[in-house]
A and B are shown apart, each in its own frame.
Chain A
Amino acid sequence: MKKFKYDINRYDPKKMMAVPAALFAVAAIIVVITFILTGMPVTPGIDFAGGTAVTLQTDDSKEEIEAYFAGYDLQSIEEGISGSYYLKFGPMSNEEMMEFNDYILAGYPDAGIDQIGANFGETLQSQAYLALLFAFLGMAVVVFIAFRKLLPALTVVFAGIADITITAAVMNLFGIELSLATTAALLMLIGYSVDSNILLTTKVLKRQGKLEEKMEGAFHTGFVMTSTTFCAILAMFFVSLIGNVPTLYSIAAVLLIGLICDLIFTWGFNAGMLRLYIGKTVPAGGRK
C-alpha cells in the first residue's frame, strides 16, 4: 500500500501523540458544553428526552404535510429521497397522544408512530449511562488481562474513551441526536476502537523483530482492516440515507465517525506511545 504516505516510523512520537490529544481536548470541551446545555453529552433525541416521531411514505409535498399537522407541535421534518418523511413532535399527554394517533392514521394510514414519555426517557437515560459504564469497565478488564502491562493497557483504554468522546462531539457538530440506536453504536465503538489497538499493541509487545517492521506490518493490516469495516458501513449509510431509515443511518453515521477517530488514535496516539514506551524499557531491537 504505497499510496498511503503515512510513515508510522518517521514522525516524532510526541508529535504523533499531540494531534490526537488536542482533538480529544477540543472534543471534551464540546461534550461538556453540550452537557451543561442539554443535561446529556450529546443532544438527546426523543428516546431520551421524550416526544413523538412519525415516519410517512407519501406523495404529498413537505408543505402539504406541514399544513396537515399545523395544529400540532411539529418540531422538525426530514425528507428522504423516495417520498419518505421523518417528523418530530414535542411531548404529549396520554389523551393527546391517542387523539393524535387517530388523526395521523386518518390522513396517513401507513404511518409509523413512535412515542416516548418523558419519564420513560429518563429511565432509558439512566440505563444507557449504566450500560456505557459497565461496557467501559468490562473492556478495561479484558485489556488489562490481555496485556498485563500498565502503560500499554492504559493507552488502549484511553484510546477507547477518546474515541467515544470525539465521536460524541462530532455528533453534536453534525446534529446527530443521541437515541437508543446511536447509544448502541457508541457502545459498539468501544469494541471497535480496541480492535486495531489490540492488533498494534499485541504485535509490538508480544512479537519478535524490529520495532519499525512490526509497526509497519501492524499499520498495513490495521488500515485495510478498518477500511473494510468502513466500506461495509458506508454502504449501509448511503442506502439507508437515500431510503430515509433513521435507525440505520444514524447507527451507520456514528460508527463511521468512530472508525475515523479510531484510525487517528491507534496509529497516532497509541503508536507514538508504544514507541516511547519501548524506547524507554528496552533498547531498540531486542525484545524477548
Chain B
Amino acid sequence: MKRQPVQKREKKEHHGFAALIRDPYVILAGILVLGALLAIFAPVGDRDGITNLQFGLDLEGGSWIQLEFQADVVTVQTPVDISAVASSMAKTLDCTVIPIDLGKVEVDKKFSEAELKAAVEKAGAVFIGTETGVGKDTADSVKRILESKVNSLGTNDVKVNVLTGISGVAQYVRVELAGVDMQEAQEIVGKQGLFEIRIQTVGDETEHVLYGDSVISVQTPQMDPATGVWGVGFTLDDAGALAFQQGCIETGATRNPAAHNINMYLDAEEVYSAPLSYELAASISKHPVNALSASTGTGEEGKQKAQELEVHLRAGALPVEVEIAGSGSTSAALGDYFKIICIIAGIAALAAVALVVYFRYRVPQIVLPMVLTNVSEIVILLGIAVFIQQLDLAAIAALIAVLGTGIDQLVIITDEVMHEGKVPSKVIYTKRLKRALLIIMTSAATVIIAMFPLIIMDLSTLKGFAIINILGILIGVLITRPAYGRIVMEILSKK
C-alpha cells in the first residue's frame, strides 16, 4: 500500500497462485486457519479429548444449579439519609437491611410488596418499587462463598456466575460443575463447614470457645474510614458472647491480649489469628460483647483478607436465603452421545451445502474454493472458541447455521462478480466485489444486532448461541469472504 508503483509491477508479474498467496486477505485467512488448527489441536495442559475445545455441560457431562436469592432490593425516595431509612426498616421487618446506594436498600429476606411498602413509609420515605434479588456487594460475597466451597472439593472445572438484570440487581446465581452428577452437585452447594473460635492459652496450646452456630450474622467487609483498616463485623448470640467472655477471662486474654491470640478455624484449619484490641479487652472483662469485628489490615491486601475471612466466618452459609430456581444434569455418556450426533450433523450439513452449490455452479473450480472457504470459516471460529466460548448444543446449532449463511454469502459474491457468466475486467470485478460485500455487511449487521440482546441478557445457554453466531459472521465478513472474492477472481481469470 505504501509504494504504489512497486505494487503495480508486482501485480503484473504474478498471476494465479502466485498472486493469491500475496493477497493480504488470503494471507490473513491462511494464517488464521493455521493458528486455529494449532489452538484446537496443540497438546497443551491437561485435557480430556484430542482437542482443546471447551464443551458445555450438555456435551461434557456435569450439573448446573441455579439459585434464586430470597431477598429484595427496594427503591425508595427519601428526604432523610438512606441509612436511617435502612435501620428503621430493619427494625420494622426484623431482619438485616443495608443501603446499597442513595435510593436503594437491600432487605435480606423475602417480603411481600405491601409489607415492604409499609416498612418504607414507616421510615418516612416514599416507596418506589421492589425487585427480587440482592445488590452487587452481597452478590459478590455469595460468589466468593460458593467458589470457595466448590474449590475446596478439588473439582477443577467449576463456574459460578451471578446473573444480574439490566437494573443492576442480581436475582440469580448459577453454579456449573463439570463431571459431577446432580446428587453430588446438590451436596456440594448445600454443604457447610465447621467454624470454630479458640483462644491461645500457653505457647501453641489453644482452648475451645465456640462453634459457628453461635455466629448469628456476618457483615460484608468494611474499611474504617479513620484508620484505613479493613475488617469483618460479626455478631454472636448471647450464649456465644458469654462463652467468648469467659474464654477471654479464663485464658488471661483480657489482662494480656498480646500473649493470647484469638484463633479462628474452618474445618480445623486456621483462617485467622490476632490478639484482642485493648479497648475490646477492657470492655469484655466487664460484660459480654455480642458485636465483634475482626480486622485484617490496610490496603488491597487487607481488603482481600477481609473478603476471605467473611467467607470463612460464614462457614459456607450464604448471607441470604436461596431457593433452587432450576437445575440440570447430563451424564458423561449422554454428553458423548450428543457430541457424536453434533459431529454427524455438522458433516451432513457441510455435505448438503456442497451438493447444492455443486448443482448450482457445476464447476469444481468454484465449488471447491467455496466449500473450502466455508470449512476454513468454521475452523477459525472453533479456534477462537477455544479461548472465549464453551461449546454447548445451542452453540453447535449456531455453528451449523453459520455454515449455511456462510455459503449464502459466498453465493452472493459469486453471482455478483460472475454476472452473465462472463469474467469481468479487474476494475469492474473489484467494484462488483465491493458491492457484494456491501450487501453482505448490511445483512451481517442485522444478524449481529438481532443476536446482541442475548449476549447482554445472559439467558443461560443462549449466550453461546449468540456469541458463536456473531463471531461466525464477523470472521466471514471481515476475513474469509473477501479472501474468497480474490481467490475466485484469480481462478476465473485463468480460464
Give A contacts to B, CB under 8 Å: 1, 55, 57, 84, 94, 97-98, 101-102, 105, 109-117, 119-120, 123-124, 127-128, 130-132, 134-136, 138-139, 141-143, 146, 180-181, 183-185, 187-188, 190-192, 194-195, 198-199, 202-203, 217, 220-221, 224-236, 238-240, 243, 245, 247-248, 251-252, 255
Contacts and interface: CB of A to CB of B under 8 A. Distances in A.
A167 to B, nearest CB: 14
Contact of A234 (B352, B401, B409): B352
10 contacts: A57-B334, A113-B328, A127-B459, A130-B453, A181-B397, A181-B465, A187-B450, A228-B353, A238-B348, A248-B396
Interface residues of B, number: 80
Interface stretch (B135-143, B180-188, B219-227, B262-270): B180-188
A247 B393 contact: yes
Given A98-B186, A112-B58, A225-B412, A248 B442 contact: no
Contact of A110 (B171, B334, B443): B334
Interface string B50-65: 0000000010000000
A252 B332 CA distance: 25
B428 interface: no
B476 to A, nearest CB: 13
B331 A231 contact: no
Contacts of A226: 408
Nearest to A146: B442
Contacts of B338: 245
Given A115-B327, A120-B325, A134-B452, A224 B341 contact: no
A194 B443 contact: yes
Given A127-B457, A187-B451, A235-B348, A112 B331 contact: yes
A228 B453 CA distance: 27
B446 A198 contact: yes
Interface stretch (B74-82, B296-304, B310-318, B354-362): B354-362
A150 B465 CA distance: 32
A130 B165 CA distance: 12
B443 A111 contact: no
A116 B397 CA distance: 22
Contacts of A234: 352
B348 A236 contact: yes
A83 to B, nearest CB: 10
Contacts of A230: 404
B452 A231 contact: no
Looking at B327, B350, B408, B445, which has the most chain A CB atoms within 10 Å of its CB? Answer: B408
B58 A225 contact: no
Given A101-B182, A111-B334, A119 B396 contact: no
Given A138-B450, A236-B348, A248-B341, A195 B443 contact: yes
B408 A131 contact: no
Main DSSP-derived SS at the B contact region = helix
B368 interface: no
Contacts of A220: 415
Contact of B443 (A191, A228, A238): A191
A212 to B, nearest CB: 15
Contact of B394 (A135, A184, A199, A240): A184
B337 A180 contact: no
A94 B457 CA distance: 26
Given A57-B334, A112-B329, A221 B412 contact: yes
Given A110-B333, A198-B443, A252-B397, A101 B183 contact: yes
Contacts of A131: 453-454, 457, 459
Interface of B: 58, 66, 68, 166, 171-172, 181-183, 186, 323-334, 337-338, 340-342, 344-346, 348-353, 355-357, 360, 393-394, 396-398, 400-401, 403-405, 407-409, 411-412, 415-416, 419, 438-439, 442-443, 445-454, 457, 459-462, 465-466, 469
A225 B326 contact: no
A135 B466 CA distance: 12
Contacts, number: 249
A97 B324 contact: yes
Contacts of B419: 217
A113 B453 contact: no
Closest 10 CB pairs of A and B: A191-B447, A138-B449, A232-B404, A229-B404, A120-B325, A235-B348, A114-B328, A131-B453, A243-B341, A231-B352
B457 to A, nearest CB: 5
A120 B393 CA distance: 21
B450 A139 contact: yes
Given A112-B330, A115-B328, A225 B411 contact: yes
Contacts of A198: 439, 442-443, 446
Contacts of B396: 248
B182 A105 contact: yes
Nearest to B345: A239
B394 A105 contact: no
Contacts of A142: 442, 445-446, 449
B408 A190 contact: no
A20 to B, nearest CB: 20
A255 B401 contact: yes
Contacts of A192: 405, 447
A273 to B, nearest CB: 18
Contacts of A102: 183
Contacts of A184: 394, 397-398, 454, 462, 465-466
B185 to A, nearest CB: 9
A240 B66 CA distance: 27
A111 B452 contact: no
A221 B345 contact: no
A251 to B, nearest CB: 4
Given A98-B186, A110-B333, 11 more contacts: A111-B334, A115-B326, A116-B325, A117-B323, A181-B393, A184-B394, A228-B408, A232-B400, A233-B401, A235-B352, A247-B397
